[in-house]
């Protein structure tokens, strides 16, 4: 079973996105894909969120929907992203959307 970012937060494990200092760049496979896994199937009508090229190509659009406070994705009944998860995605995007 995927160990979610939320689980790691709860257990006090450092998030990849919080490891500043540049020794390890955020990666889609390791850090971002697991974030989307719970609702990737539900979002197939728009994107395949497990597809690196699709997420990279639409990174700004996805960020806009994740961070839209009034109409944020993912929709209910999925829990909204935590501030830490949003930061993780933002950092990955601004870091060049590494694979």
Residues at the contact surface with other proteins, assessed by CB under 8 A: 41-42, 44-48, 51, 53-54, 56-58, 60-61, 65, 70, 75-78
Identify which of residues 15 and 54 has a Cβ nearer to other proteins in the complex: 54
Identify which of residues 7 and 53 has a Cβ nearer to other proteins in the complex: 53
Interhelix angle 83-94/59-66, rounded to 10 degrees, is: 160
The minimum distance between CB 93 and other proteins, in angstroms, equals 14
Q: Distance between CA 91 and CA 17 in Å, rounded? A: 7
Identify which of residues 35 and 55 has a Cβ nearer to other proteins in the complex: 55
Structure tokens at 63: 């960020």
The minimum distance between CB 60 and other proteins, in angstroms, equals 8
Q: Of the candidates 42, 28, 40, 39, which has an alpha carbon nearest to the alpha carbon of residue 88?
A: 28
The minimum distance between CB 97 and other proteins, in angstroms, equals 12
Q: Distance between CA 42 and CA 49 in Å, rounded? A: 10
């Amino acid at each position: 079973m995927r160990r979610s970012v939320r689980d790691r937060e709860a257990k006090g494990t450092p998030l990849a996105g919080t490891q500043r200092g540049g020794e390890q760049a955020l990666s889609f496979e390791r850090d971002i894909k697991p974030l989307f896994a719970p609702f990737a199937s539900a979002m197939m009508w728009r994107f395949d969120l497990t597809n690196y090229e699709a997420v990279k190509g639409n990174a700004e659009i996805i960020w806009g929907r994740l961070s839209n406070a009034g109409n944020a994705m993912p929709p209910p009944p999925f829990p909204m992203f935590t501030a830490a998860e949003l930061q993780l995605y933002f950092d990955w995007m601004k870091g060049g959307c590494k694979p």
